[in-house]
Amino acid sequence: MTDPRLTPLAAALPATVPFVGPETLERRRGAPFAARLGANENGFGPSPQALEALQKAAPDAWMYPDPECHELKTALAAHHGLDAEHIVVGEGIDGLLGWLVRLTVAPGTTVVTSSGAYPTFDYHVTGYGGTLSKVPYRDDKEDPQALIARAAETGARLIYLANPDNPTGSVHDAATVERMVAAVPDGALLILDEAYLGCDAGTPHPCIVPDDPRVIRMRTFSKAYGLAGLRIGYAIGPKPLIAAFDRVRNHFGVARMSQDAALAALADDAWLAEVQTRIAASRDRIADIAERAGMTPLPSVTNFVACDCGDAARAGQVMDCLEAAGIFARRPGTPPLDRLVRISCGPEADMALLERALLG
């Protein structure tokens, strides 16, 4: 039964969420997972300086946080060499996507994305009545040319591209992304989701000026910085668009402790470099295990490896094997990506469990 007070749009939405959390799955299976390798969390942990900042901030938990996130925005502006008015801080990229969609999408507004790309974006668009127009991946990458062509064809308001990509781990070079930005149709906005940009020191950074009205870039402290549980991220974009977030954002949504931890993590370059080294080693470990188990690991610059099982049936068998061994992993649900099993990087103890599960 549906509550009669819901709007017609809300009443018509499916009662689903983009992801079922590992805790929910643990309750269903009646046992905890031995290894969390499905949510692309940073199993190597946050900066020791971030942990120290959290401890120092704990006694001040009785106070509301700074709604402007002033210190963090100032530090981010200095880090990127731009004006703080180009930055908005939010509850991770998920929260920022929700605000952006609320600002730009009305019932019937067309939005372009890829079939099999980040489902939380789709969730927000559908929740505000937007119409999703999807293009397929090409060579296990999102297809910038096809996304731009579809946007021009449909008059789309938003275009979504994750670079590096989730769920395949692929990346487009800087020149490709720059050409895509240059080709954005009039009236459209490219959302460049760069959640995984910090996971590999060699990932190319496209040259995009912050006041370019055609693009907004989104970053997070959840992946390379290891602060997924604190829900904090930020967007970089043209000042008029960034200022508009104040009209809809949750002004006290970013906790005081989250701001302090992110500020400390941003300053700890040595720990970021250490994490990048550990991620690279873990990617190699996962790829080796996958190959010996008869799978093909896709090239990745993220903190996970997508393992090609050949077909959806075999991917399902691998997922069953991992669950039986107490290992939480993810599998994309959209063909042809459903032939993949996505395995997050993690400490050696988790890699040993993965090896034992897949190779005996």
Q: Is the pLDDT of residue 1 over 80?
A: no
Beta-bridged to residue 340, according to DSSP, are: 308
| pLDDT band at 222; cut points 50, 70, 90 | very high
Residue 2 domain flag: no
| pLDDT band at 15; cut points 50, 70, 90 | confident
Residue 1 domain flag: no
* End-of-domain residue from the set 211, 240, 268: 268
Mean pLDDT of 143-172: 98
For position 97, what pLDDT does the model report? 98
Query: How much of the chain exceeds pLDDT 70, in percent?
Result: 100
Q: How many domains does the chain have?
A: 2
Are residues 148 and 40 part of one domain?
Answer: no
Are residues 304 and 352 part of one domain?
Answer: yes
Q: Is the pLDDT of residue 18 over 90?
A: no
Contact 199, 279 (CB under 8 A): yes
Are residues 79 and 141 part of one domain?
Answer: yes
For position 2, what pLDDT does the model report? 83
Please give the distance of CA 243 from its chain centroid, rounded to a whole number: 23
CATH at 129: 3.40.640.10
- In this predicted structure, which of 2-6, 106-110, 176-180 has the lowest mean pLDDT? 2-6
Residues of the domain holding 72: 48-268
Are residues 297 and 242 part of one domain?
Answer: no
Alpha helices for the chain (secondary structure H): 8-12, 22-29, 48-57, 70-80, 92-104, 119-127, 144-154, 174-182, 239-244, 256-267, 269-292, 312-324, 348-359
For position 92, what pLDDT does the model report? 97
Are residues 135 and 223 part of one domain?
Answer: yes
List pLDDT tens digits, range 125-157. 999 999 999 999 999 999 999 999 999 999 999
Are residues 112 and 234 part of one domain?
Answer: yes
Of 280, 286, 259, 268, nearest in space to 357 by CA: 286
CATH at 327: 3.90.1150.10
Are residues 315 and 242 part of one domain?
Answer: no
| pLDDT band at 16; cut points 50, 70, 90 | confident
Are residues 243 and 306 part of one domain?
Answer: no
Are residues 73 and 184 part of one domain?
Answer: yes
Mean pLDDT of 46-71: 97
Q: Structure pTM? A: 0.96
Are residues 292 and 187 part of one domain?
Answer: no
For position 187, what pLDDT does the model report? 96
Q: Is the pLDDT of residue 36 over 90?
A: yes
List pLDDT tens digits, range 114-127. 999 999 999 999 99
Q: Is the pLDDT of residue 280 over 80?
A: yes
For position 17, what pLDDT does the model report? 83
Are residues 182 and 68 part of one domain?
Answer: yes
Q: Which helix (H) or strand (E) holds 308?
A: strand 304-308
For position 115, what pLDDT does the model report? 98
* End-of-domain residue from the set 244, 268, 292: 268
For position 255, what pLDDT does the model report? 97
